[in-house]
Chain A
Amino acid sequence: MSAEDDTGMKPVLDLVALSPAVRSGLARALALGALGGIAAVGGYVCVALSVGELFEADRSFAAFGRWAGGAFALLTLSFFAKWLAEQVAHHASFDLEVVLRRALADALARMPLGVVQRTGSGRIKKIVQDDVAALHNVVADAVPFFGGVAAQPVAALIALAIVQWKLLLVVLLVVPVAMVSFSLMARDYTTQRERYNQAAEDVNNAVVEFVQGMPVVRTFDDGRTSFRRFGAAVQRFTDAVGAWTETSRSASAFNRLVIVPLPTLLVVAACGTPMLAAGWISPADLVLGLLIGAMPIEAIAPLMHLTNLINDSKAGAVRIGELFAVPPLPEPAEPRTPVGAEVALRGVTFGYSPDRPVLTDVTIEVPAGTVCALVGPSGSGKSTVARLIPRFYDVTGGAVLVGGVDVREMSSEVLLRHVTLVFQDPFLVDGTIAENIRLAKPSATDDEVIAAARAAAAHEFIVGELADGYDSQVGERGGRLSGGQRQRITIARAMLSDAPVVVLDEATAFADPESEAAIQEAVARLTVGRTVIVIAHKLNTITGVDQIVVLDDGRVAERGRHVDLVSAGGRYASLWARHEQAASWGLAGTKVKGVTA
């Protein structure tokens, strides 16, 4: 293996090192693979020696049989060793998959929730599922094979040296050629493959864009423009690959011609003929040369097919390593417990990247049991404020306090039990209604679950519209329920959790016009007696809240009650004017009368 390949394998090896059991399993597989390679060579040596016995003047079946028996035993050993190597490697690889997936689940639980959210469930799924599975190619398929690659050629050459060194010299003639071929393979990997990978990634992106956009694209484009874009990317890929194969053509062709047994056998035969005629070697020696001379070449031949798979695995290993490298959110050594339900941001400064602050010196006090609405244009920072309260990220300056305690000084479990989130995307697991509500409090009794569902205005549809009531399956991600029904299940969960602080995205209440009234009722009950921080979109719903905080460009622009802010004639007043204008809009230029905003 060249030095480049060793560094290339490092990401994979780092992952394997995570589990000592897996590592020792793989070491066993490697050893067994090597044993298999050596035994195979020994077996063929015995075959040659058994035939050699037949040349003896006093030949007997017994003498032959000893060697033949040895051949059978060694080839059987080789076969079992290789088989076992593969089994051990496969099982080690399956174990490794579980170890890695659980370790990733752990890393995800420790890293800031905001990082998890921004990485996205699709990408994380790809890493935890697909990239981990792709390691199988290296770990399970390549390990026993590498054992053979290392041991079999060496063993074959040693066997030749012992039995007939003159033939060894002949076979060694081929070695430089194989070395050249090997280095050609390595060169392809480093320089050309990257270009190919880039082209492949581009074409994949084009495919994703073309396919996923298709249903929507058809509505404004007859497909011409998007098809042209797609066609152009496909063409670029075709050209890139064409150019690559053109440059690597001679090297690949060379490998294709050299890494096969026939040329080596031809060399052995051509050199063996005069040697035999001169009496330097016996016919049995020549048979030996022909049987094991090609083994070194044969051992490395599958490498050509494995390279692609191994490269995929390595790319995946790098992505897995990146996820492991995300620094965890520090947990306090001596966690404190929040007392009460007030929420405060004191002089908070925060940015997703250090150079671009999203919030600057934000101070908000929300006394226990009051409702605070966050208002402002998109990008003003209101969602960020909502995310900092349950510590999706740590602030860069200032502090966030819940129940009088800095969120960094309590364990995340305690914090998240204290603060419940009702965001726009309702989260449901593939299970029954009851399981989904009970997620918030696994110990809840059936009566508690039903009470929560009643409070969330969900009981009626659960009992009235679903065939199995609380035992009805909700489907993957709640697919069997309507949007409004999913919302109410998540609200029921928040009810059950009994957390004194609620962070709410008010768009939730309007996600599904069909069940708007029921959701509004549920939200209203949820807010009773709790401290509520709500991201508000439709200003009419918050006219009665205790405190409105108007954010603009990451700073608090105004704060106060609705009436006071409207009369102040500032930022809020102009937002309110726009709101009233929007609410009275109708198609065909009709201004609607008699509709309250």
Chain B
Amino acid sequence: MKRIRRLMFLAAGPYAPQFRSTLRISVIASVVQALAYAAFIPLLAALAADPADTGTAWLWVGVLVVLVVVEALLRLKESAFTFDYWHLVTGDTRTRLGERLRSMPQQELGRRAAGDLTTVVGGNVTSAATGISAFSTLFVQLVTVPALLGVVVLAVDWRLGLVLVAAVVISVPLMRRLRNLSNQGFRRVDTANAGAASRIVEYVQGLPVFKATGQAGADSPRLVEVFAHQHEANATANRSASVPVAALQFLVQAAVIALVVLGASLVLDARLTLPLLLAVVVAAARFAEPLAAAVTMSKLFELCEAALTRVSEVLDAGTLPVRPGGRQPSSFGITFSGVSFTYEGRTDPVLRDVSLEVPERSLTALVGPSGSGKTTITRLMTRFADPQQGEVRLGGVDVASLEPEELMHHFAVVFQDVYLFDDTILANIAMGRPDATREEVLAAAEAANVHTFAERLPDGYETRVGEIGSALSGGERQRISIARAILKDAPVVLLDEPTAALDTESEVVVQQAIDNLVTGKTVVVIAHRLSTVVGADQILVFEDGQVVQRGTHTELIQQDGRYGSMWRAQTRAKEWRLVRS
């Protein structure tokens, strides 16, 4: 309970004071509500007396009216939080989550699946806010009212009160057991669902193969298997959770009947007056209802708790520390000295004691098999994460002493992976430098050969990317990303083999765009096709997290090493023909 309360206040953020006062109002309203039910006791006592004491009854009706009105007003005030703040809480929480995502270390960001984070920022925020605005007050009411009614009945007649207290005492462990069971059930269902989801994706992707072998359709063996498992998990979870639920609800009803029977026998023995019994019966009926509701609501509470937990996990994520002594670099050579790096959760380092130098305004190529550490080198330059040992310096300044955002100002990056926003082509390019004028953006677009296809589109540069969707080819998307980089005009350019996945026609124009981008910059390129980097000032050959060879193409070809064998293998591959001519 304490934990949920803390999480709720964390998620409420700047609206915590309003939330606190709403909870207070909720408690007061519940007390008033319990008092209103309690007022039926003297009222009925007066009416059932022989002869009926109408005067007293009217007095209590009056009291009841006042309590009902006061409760209604308090409930209105309580629900005002939903109307006035629910949407503000979602907005504020999403904004805070956005800030966290923006400042979260890249490595941390990469660890979480995008789909997961989308759920956190999307649906989980909604559930959490609803938990804060609606469920918290409902919970207060469900707990407070029966408890107070129990106390009232106890005060009227301790023997009858004990029946209710006993019901509560028995229900607490049942509740706890229910929680455990349904948590276990939920987990099994989650696993079964995840398994089914991945089989469905598999089925869709492999449909041609499955159809060819008669494994498609309603009897597809791989699907039938997971669906049956899923059914079984659902049914088991439901069955095991339903028994304690049933027991609880039965218990509450049995308690009311027991109270009536015990009360009747007390009346018959003249140890209790009949009017009091009537009154207690009416009050006890009210005792049962919220408790039964609490059981059915528990599923919603659990969802809300899970959502709150996930939201707070992201809100609590740390940032990369910035070392003191940072200053703006004035030159743009890059040095690695004794750098070792291990990815989170791995044991073997991906870089071992790497020292290298990228002189300003030179072209350095990183080559080597996948997993040899060349991508990690570019990541460490932009503070994807900080190395466990050694230092990375930009223009002599330790990058760990710069804010990641500040550092990124000096880099322009073109990777194979291009991300376009659902906005116009022009706006997508302008993201490279938000304060650029329209002329500057168009100049960058021209230099990146964007104009050749943008002019053919119905609305030119104003065409929205979302509307033409996949109509943009890989090469066209790549040119937009190069235009962004040209517009940014950063002194250091990082390239990750941007032409590897393109077809012939795109390749030439993308190549021209890259030529325009790299002129006069410090360039680091990850290269798979050695032929594209033979002109590099320096080629660094990576193997197993270390630089095993370095030099120009001519120098490396003369040494009989790793580079030489890679070069020969690629030359052979290029001569390959689908059918020998």
Contacts and interface: CB of A to CB of B under 8 A. Distances in A.
B282 A291 contact: yes
> Mostly helix, strand, loop or mixed at chain B's interface?
helix
The residue among A122, A430, A582 with the most chain B CB atoms within 10 A of its own CB is A582
A484 B485 CA distance: 31
Nearest to A390: B208
Interface string B107-137: 0011000100110011000100000000000
B356 interface: no
Given A105-B203, A586-B533, A543 B94 contact: no
Interface in A42-81: 44, 47, 50-51, 54-55, 59-61, 64-65, 68, 71-72, 75-76, 79
B571 A97 contact: no
A261 interface: yes
Interface stretch (B8-16, B64-72, B155-163, B318-326): B64-72
Interface in A197-232: 200, 203-205, 207-227, 229-231
Contacts of B578: 371, 373, 506, 523-524, 527, 532, 534, 536, 541-542, 544-545
Interface in A124-161: 124-125, 128-129, 133
Interface string A28-52: 0000000000000000100100110
A121 B201 contact: yes
Interface residues of B, number: 174
A162 interface: no
B504 A538 contact: yes
Interface in A80-109: 83, 86-87, 90-91, 94-95, 97-98, 101-103, 105-106, 108-109
Contacts of B75: 256-257
Interface stretch (B175-183, B258-266, B334-342, B540-548): B258-266
A212 B98 contact: no
Contacts of B377: none
Contacts of B421: 209, 213, 226, 229
Given A256-B75, A371-B578, A210 B98 contact: yes
A564 interface: no
Interface stretch (A173-181, A342-350, A465-473, A513-521): A513-521
Contacts of B202: 427, 429-430, 477
Nearest to A373: B578
B167 to A, nearest CB: 14
Given A214-B101, A276-B47, A50 B79 contact: no
Contact of A427 (B198, B206, B574): B206
B277 A277 contact: no
A453 B535 CA distance: 40
B449 interface: no
Interface string A498-540: 0100000011001001101100100110010000101011111
B515 A589 contact: yes
Interface residues of A, number: 172
B212 A210 contact: no
Contacts of B432: 220-221
B267 A54 contact: yes
B431 interface: yes
A429 B221 CA distance: 13
B389 to A, nearest CB: 25
B555 interface: no
A16 interface: no
B478 to A, nearest CB: 12
A357 interface: no
Interface string B233-260: 0110011001000100110011011001
B68 A581 contact: no
Interface in A559-588: 562, 575, 578-579, 581-583, 585-588
Given A371-B579, A587-B525, A249 B83 contact: yes
B451 interface: no
A225 B434 CA distance: 7
B220 interface: yes
Interface stretch (A313-321, A396-404, A411-419): A411-419
Interface in A242-289: 242, 245-246, 249, 252-253, 256-257, 261-263, 265-266, 269-270, 272-274, 276-277, 283-284, 286-287
Nearest to B494: A219
A243 to B, nearest CB: 9
B91 A237 contact: yes
B343 interface: no
A451 interface: no
A441 to B, nearest CB: 7
Nearest to B257: A72
A66 to B, nearest CB: 12
A277 B260 CA distance: 25
Nearest to B73: A257
Nearest to A276: B47
Interface string B402-426: 0001001101110101110111000
B577 A543 contact: yes
A546 interface: yes
A185 interface: no
A9 interface: no
B44 A286 contact: yes
Contact of B532 (A263, A532, A543, A585): A585
A417 B222 contact: no
Nearest to B246: A83
A223 B102 contact: yes
The residue among A440, A585, A597 with the most chain B CB atoms within 10 A of its own CB is A585
Interface stretch (B52-60, B344-352, B393-401): B52-60
Contacts of A421: 208
Given A44-B285, A79-B253, A586-B531, A520 B576 contact: yes
14 contacts: A79-B246, A97-B231, A203-B122, A226-B421, A263-B68, A269-B43, A273-B57, A277-B52, A283-B275, A302-B296, A373-B578, A575-B504, A586-B531, A596-B571
Which 4 A-B pairs rank lowest in CB-CB distance, beginning with the nearest? A590-B535, A544-B581, A416-B212, A238-B91
